[in-house]
Amino acid sequence: MKFKYLIIAFSILIVLFLLITALLPLFVPNPAYTANLRYVTSPVLFFMAAILVCLGIFFLINYRLFLLLEREDWPALAYYLEQKIFVKNMYCNRYVKLLASSYMVISDYPSVVKLENKAFLAKRSVVEKNVLIFGAARVISSDYKGAAVFFKTHLDKGKLMKQDREWVRWFYGFSCLLNGVFDKAETEFLTMAVSSSDALIAGVSAYFLANNLAEKSLRKQDCLDAAENGRKRIVDTLKTIEAWKKEVSKAETAIHIAVIRKYIDQTGIWLFQEIAPKEN
């Protein structure tokens, strides 16, 4: 259901609740019960009314934003957010993340870097909360060396959000792989293939170890062993490629996942191709 319909539905429920609560005393003949009911429900009525007013104000303020998101009009959304951020200096995390994502969708990668630079000067914490988007823009624009430096710098700072840290580490290794610095990529993927609790991170790390890094490494067997370890952990946990696809679907709306989606799909085939004959 679209966001505006959720707002409308919730508002209708609140109004119905308010009406029922307000009119109920008219149908109850006991005055003492009615007085007690009003005493109990009055604070609830005021609270629900306040929520309804706040929702209305929030929706009106953000109506244009919701409309553009609903239409998926990314150029118009980018322009709208540029006015909010660059003109009105509103460097809040929500606006910066949406603008960076809009630029990525329309393949305007230089503008992502421009946004990052301006946000870094205006509100550094916003960049730290969106490292994956800003770094992914470097990767997809083929600035692999710049991406590796960017990800490593933020890893070393230690200010990453907990849920992002492992993906930032993975993208650092991925950037090194794309840049031809195979030993550093190997070091990162060796660890993540055998220890990451995130199925996607462990799986794609194992995939690259087996299919790219092993042949280039002086520790070929270590790469193959780690890849097999990662593959076995995921297969034992998820069992089928359908379960893998469900894991992918949980994260597929994230921009950094979209950037590497083809590798994730290839990883799923690689992970489960060996057990396919056993299922027939």
What is the pLDDT, as a whole number, of residue 1?
A: 41
Q: What pLDDT is recorded for position 71?
A: 87
* pLDDT tens digits for range 155-170: 998 788 878 999 999 9
Residue 70, pLDDT score: 83
The model's pTM is 0.80
Whole-number pLDDT of residue 36? 61
Given this model, what pLDDT does residue 277 score? Answer: 45
Q: Report the distance separating Cα 116 and Cα 72, nearest Å.
A: 23
**Where exactly are the structural domains of the chain?**
3-61, 160-280
Q: Calculate mean pLDDT across residues 72-89.
A: 95
Per residue in 55-69, pLDDT (tens digit) is 777 777 788 888 888
How does residue 29 score in pLDDT terms, banded at 50, 70 and 90?
Answer: low
Per-residue pLDDT reduced to its tens digit, 35-50: 665 666 667 667 767 7
Average pLDDT in the 239-254 region? 93
Q: Please tell me the predicted confidence (pLDDT) of residue 237.
A: 94
